[in-house]
Amino acid sequence: MKSYRVRVAVAAGLAVAGLALSACGPVQAGAAAIVGKERISSSDLDAKVREFRADLASRKMAEDQLNLSMSVPQLILYNTANARQYAELARRKGVTVAESEIDGFVAARGGQAKVDEMLLSGGIPRSMGRDTIRAVLVQQKLMAQAGAGNDEQSVQAALVKVGQEADAAVPVTFSPRYGKFDPQQGFVADDRFGAVAAQ
């Protein structure tokens, strides 16, 4: 079965499962994306981009050395949408992640400073860190329920199953301003709408 997802590396080399994002469909004016019925506004995204760049500057990290898979706005939009999609799916399925579990995740990876650096290296502002980690932990719990074991085959099967469930329950649509979503490449230019939103 062909997988409709793309993976984005996040803290500690984990991958947050992608979104089967709609290539078309209505997007509200001023919205960067719609996650289920929730709107991610372009102004909110712009604020997160500014915050991310301020975080980099405070750590003396250079944006052009991060080797990101997408532009900063695209990657932050993607991660925001992903976190909200899994938060809503968790709510619907009664899956919870305690703050202590997030604290344990951080501690196991060397503490907050190291995790912040990992997040920033993946294009995630520090303020989104706990939501991103929560999405990872929700996904892991749902994958375990879907039969993920210690072998790669069962993990991949569970990843696809959980991703499809997330897509069906909480569909995500991006504004074409950020490009056309390709399952293998992420965002690509959409000639119908001109150039992809720049940095």
Give the pLDDT confidence of 24-79 residue by residue, as tens digits: 344 556 799 999 999 999 999 999 999 999 999 999 999 888 888 888 999 999 99
Q: Which domain holds residue 149?
A: 8-22+34-184
Task: Find the CATH number of the domain harbouring 151.
Answer: 1.10.4030
Specify the number of domains making up the chain: 1
Question: Is residue 141 assigned to a domain?
Answer: yes
Question: Is residue 180 assigned to a domain?
Answer: yes
Length of the chain in terms of residues written: 199
Question: Is residue 195 assigned to a domain?
Answer: no
- CA 106 to each of CA 5, 51, 100, 142: distance values in angstroms, whole numbers, following the listed order: 26, 21, 10, 20
For the segment 177-194, the average pLDDT, to the nearest whole number, is 67
Tokens 């993920």 found at: 148
pTM of the model: 0.79
Determine the Cα–Cα distance for residues 139 and 42; give it in Å rounded to an integer.
Answer: 26
Question: Is residue 190 assigned to a domain?
Answer: no
Question: Is residue 2 assigned to a domain?
Answer: no
Q: Predicted confidence band at 190 (pLDDT cuts at 50, 70, 90)?
A: low
